[in-house]
Each structure stands twice: as structure tokens, then as C-alpha cells.
Chain A
Amino acid sequence: MSILVYTESENGSFKKIAHEAVSYAKGIADMMGTSVTALAVNANDTSELGKFGASKVLEVSNDKLNNFNAEAYADVIAQAAKQEDAQVVVLTSSANSKFMAPLVAVNLEAGYVPNVTELPSSSSPFTVKHSVFTNKAFSNTEINTNVKIVGLGKNAFGIKENETSATTEAFSPTLSEDDFSTEVVSVDKATDKVTIADAEIVVSAGRGLKGPENWGMIEELAETLGAATACSKPVSDMGWRPHSEHVGQTGKPVASNLYIAIGISGAIQHLAGINASKTKVVINNDPEAPFFKAADYGIVGDAFEVVPQLVEKLKEFKAQNN
């Protein structure tokens, strides 16, 4: 018996969500009186996983798995879960994790619940709280199958240290040609930009900016904060910004620590997608803009004045605090 957690890495290094997922798996293991086995694929150094509560690390090293492939990765996870007799499999909310979770679920005949926001409220029956209606509500859902799969919501649990001595073991899954019947032929990814999925801070702007030529100050603000840039739906529909930046109910969800909304009115569909962010700041020249009701901090003012001032101030602040 164990809790199996898949730890996502990129170019050999673990992503932060891998640390969060192990922390969360440890929380479940403690509730259920068992231990955490982490599964790592082509990671350079797995010693750090013990710090967050893994007692055992299964290390897969296989060149065929250098590129993510949902079918193959799902198969690897299912094989590991069977070997370890896992009661619970912990996945995350990364695009890759969400891609393969349903495949793992069918393979293991396991019930799957995504977007889980906290530790199970009970381990028997196994009941988890997860967000539904794009963060407008939560559901308390019971999983009835022997094996359970939970997809931890973005930034929902946090990283918790829990020093455990971890043993490592090589794991060699059996892969067949069928695992590679979808083939990734090219990847197009900006490596120098923070992604909305990984970002702790997201700077987002809307139609209040008047035109794409005014995004320079938004990018500068994002760069100063080490943040990702995002936008409202009409901004991407008009082609001012790429679709990948569209956030909201029909775009990407944002669950960052800080979300700064500039010249965005705060329509219900926009708010739904960004509600899970912890601290929200709004800069808008209309004191009646609905976004202020959903915000923690606000400045009523003209973005073209406030944003450059904010950039200056933050640069000063960073110079003092570094």
C-alpha cells in the first residue's frame, strides 16, 4: 500500500508543482497511515523529493520518454501504481497532467477528481473538495473505487517541508509501440518567458489599454515582477495579444499568488477564471468597475499614469530589497 505521486520535471529538473504534489501526497499518506512513493521520469537528481515527504522514489530513465507523450506516460504511471499497490494516485493541474489523468483513470479503473483544493475531508469514504463552475463553487465528492486519482488544483496546497529519508529504486516500465501512436513532431515554446501556469504573479490588461501599442508598460511591469502577462478575452479576440494569454472562464484559469488587473472591467466570465488567485489588485479609472468588488487592493486612476509610476516604484523597491 502507498500513495503514488507523479513528479513532473522539465529538462531533468523538477517543477515547483512536483514539490507541491509530494507535500500534498504526504498529507494524504499521514491521514491513511501509509507512505509516499514518488515517480520521476528522466529527472537528473531525485534526492530533493525526500524533503517534502517521499519515502521512496521510483526513477524511470528512458530516452523514449524525453518528450512528453500522454499515452506512454499514463501507461508508466499505471504500471507504477500497480507495482506499488497504490490506493491513491496524486496528479496535478498542469496541461500534461490533465491530458493523461483520464487515461490513467480508465487503465486503473480508478475514479478521478480534478481541481482538488485541500486534503480529503475523510479518507473512508474518500471525500475531496474540488472547485466546480470555474471557481464559482466547490463540490464535496466521494470516490467509490478501490484506487483513487486526485488532481491537485493549481497553487491550492502550497509546498510543505517534511524531511523524510527516501530510498531510490530504478523502475523500468514495459512500453509498446501502441504507447507512441501519437507522435510529437515539434514543440514551439518560449523558454525565456514565465508561463501563466507556472507564474506566481500575473499581470493582466484589458480593453482599457486602447490598443496593442500600449502593452510596453505592461510587459515592463511584468518583467520587473518576474510575472507572466495575460489579457481579457476581447483583447485576444481583436488580436492585440495572443490567444494563449486569454484568461477567464473560457480561457486559461489563473491561480497565482498575485493577480494585477489593469483596465479590465471585471465581467463575471473574467472573474470566474481568476478567482482562485490569492491577492487581486485592480487599476481602473472607473470607480464603479465591478472588478473592485472582487479585488483586495485597488487604485482608481488612469492606467497610463499609474502603471509607469508603479514600475518606477517597484524598481526602487527591488533595488532596496536585493
Chain B
Amino acid sequence: MKILVCISHVPDTTSKINFTDGDTKFDTNGVQFVINPNDEFGLTRAMWFKEKQGASVHVVNVGGPETEPTLRKALAIGADEAIRVNTPATDGYSVAKQLANVVKEGGYDLVIGGRESIDYNGGMVPGMVAKMLDANFVNTCINLEVEGDSATAIREIDGGKETIKTKLPLVVGGQKGLVEESDLRIPNMRGIMQARSKPLHVKEPVDANAETNTNSFEKPAPKGDVKLVDSVDELVNLLHNEAKVI
């Protein structure tokens, strides 16, 4: 089985979010970038397929040279090869178009992406890739088993979960549950050394126009001060009469 894990390169969850150039660009100053958490769960599940079922695992990112350390980290965790499609990620659709091309040329059976990137929260790239390739698609995937060309996936739904049977080629949008938090791997010295000599292919992009573009960003209006109360009587009164939520 050939697996492709899509890696989005995102600001670490503790990052302060600021904008520059008249609020048109994300300010990367002092920001640490990491593998998108949803993708890290997917990558770790892919390592399981590699170790238990002999799958080969490639990782891919659509982005500029600045994303290479993130791809190297994925190699250090255990992926065999990395691909960077050399074009900035402008919108979900154009990224999906690049990824669909990588999947087609590489002949992957299983594509694992994340439910969403924690930066722009698009939640669209894996689904678009699946539709562009006529592959099957399972989103918010919290468990995945593959046998031959049959797959069984569990998907989180509002208020529960459902079990889905489908066939490869398959694209999933994964999240925590694909593996547990405690299964995540911190790259060790040996992994980091090996990653240096693993292939990282830079691929030129195909033509793909963005369907959306960002005009500007804004930050939420600052919040007023908290009202501290001494008793539950007062709290219930405020929730009823002032906030009108009960």
C-alpha cells in the first residue's frame, strides 16, 4: 500500500496572531511552525500501517521553501520520502489541485489529511482532493483499518460516531482518535539523522487558479472586564436579567 500524508505547516497553538502590511498578511515574526496537529495523528497512523502492514509512506506539502523543516520533521518521525510542491498555498482549492496531481502521478492508494488546518480552518482540502480524483472520502475520521482494497473507518458525527465501509483509493480527513495523544512520537536523534539523507523532492506546480482570496484580516474586538460576583444568587440573577441566557 502506498500512503500519502498531507502535511499542513501551521503556527504552533501558543502563537500570538498578528497581521502586517495593512492587515493583509499573517505576521510570522517570532512564530514557531509545526506539523498541523490533525496531520500528526494521521502521520502516526500511517507509521502503524508501515510497521504492521509494510506500507510505504510519503508526505507532501504545498508551500515555499520555509516549510521544509516541517517536512524534515515528518521524515524524522518515520516517513520514507517527502515532496514539496513549490508554490505558496493561496486557497484550499488551488492546494487541492496540486495535491490531486501528486496523488495521481504517485499512484497512492490511501491519502491521509487532517479534518482541518488550525490556521485557516478551511476543512476542505482532503474532500476536494477526493472529489477531483473520484476517490472515496471519509471526514472526521477517528479510526482506520485497511485490508487489501477494503477499508473500515469510524467517523465522528455530532453526538456520536458511525462506522463506514469503503474501498481504496480513499482519502481521509483525520483527527485525534486515529491514534491517541500518547502514541505521538517525538523524533529521536537517530530519526533526525536519518531524515537528513531521506529524499525531499521539490516539484514544480501545475496550473491552478485560486477561487477565493483574502482581502484583509481583523482581530476580535477587545473584551470588557469580567464581572466577579460573590454568590450564586447574584450569578443566576445576572444570567437571567442581564445576559438573558437562562
A297 to B123, Cβ gap below 8 A? no
Is B62 interfacial (CB-CB < 8 Å)?
no
B228 to A298, Cβ gap below 8 A? yes
Closest to B224 in A: A296
Closest to B41 in A: A250
B163 to A295, Cβ gap below 8 A? no
B166 to A138, Cβ gap below 8 A? no
Contact of A94 among B124, B158, B212, B223 (CB under 8 A): B158
B226 to A282, Cβ gap below 8 A? yes
* Count of chain A residues near B, Cβ 8 A: 91
Is A275 interfacial (CB-CB < 8 Å)?
yes
Is A176 interfacial (CB-CB < 8 Å)?
no
> For A279, what are the chain B residues with a Cβ–Cβ distance below 8 Å?
239, 243, 245
How extensive is the interface on chain B, given as a class?
A: 35 or more
Closest to A129 in B: B218
> Chain A interface: which of B1-9, B64-72, B128-136?
B128-136
A193-212 contact mask (Cβ, 8 Å, vs B): 1 or 0: 10111101100000000000
Q: How far is the CA of A270 from the CA of B180 in the complex (A)?
A: 19
Is A102 interfacial (CB-CB < 8 Å)?
yes
> For B123, what are the chain A residues with a Cβ–Cβ distance below 8 Å?
98, 101-102, 114
B residues 111-129 touching A (CB-CB < 8 Å):
118-128
Is A185 interfacial (CB-CB < 8 Å)?
yes
B238 to A297, Cβ gap below 8 A? yes
Is A134 interfacial (CB-CB < 8 Å)?
yes
CB distance from A125 to the nearest CB of B (A): 9
Known: A115-B121, A187-B162. A314 touches B236 (CB 8 A): yes
Is A64 interfacial (CB-CB < 8 Å)?
no
A258 to B239, Cβ gap below 8 A? yes
B137 to A70, Cβ gap below 8 A? yes
> For A294, what are the chain B residues with a Cβ–Cβ distance below 8 Å?
223
Known: A127-B215, A195-B158, A294-B223. A185 touches B165 (CB 8 A): yes
Closest to B161 in A: A188
Q: How far is the CA of A317 from the CA of B120 in the complex (A)?
A: 42
B160 to A182, Cβ gap below 8 A? no
Q: How far is the CA of A272 from the CA of B13 in the complex (A)?
A: 9
A141 to B219, Cβ gap below 8 A? no
Q: How far is the CA of A114 from the CA of B93 in the complex (A)?
A: 13
B residues 200-246 touching A (CB-CB < 8 Å):
210-220, 223-224, 226-230, 232-233, 235-236, 238-240, 243, 245-246
CB distance from B169 to the nearest CB of A (A): 11
Is A4 interfacial (CB-CB < 8 Å)?
no
Closest to B245 in A: A258
> For A114, what are the chain B residues with a Cβ–Cβ distance below 8 Å?
121-124
Known: A98-B123, A279-B239. A143 touches B160 (CB 8 A): no
A201 to B245, Cβ gap below 8 A? yes
CB distance from B30 to the nearest CB of A (A): 15
> Chain B interface: which of A51-59, A105-113, A162-170?
A105-113
Contact of A95 among B91, B121, B140, B239 (CB under 8 A): B140
A103 to B137, Cβ gap below 8 A? yes
Interface of B with A (CB < 8 Å)?
11, 13-14, 17, 19, 37-38, 91-93, 96, 118-128, 130-132, 134, 136-140, 142, 155-167, 176-177, 181-182, 210-220, 223-224, 226-230, 232-233, 235-236, 238-240, 243, 245-246
- Offer 7 A-B interface pairs, CB within 8 angstroms, sorted by A: A132-B120, A143-B211, A249-B118, A257-B245, A258-B239, A297-B229, A300-B228
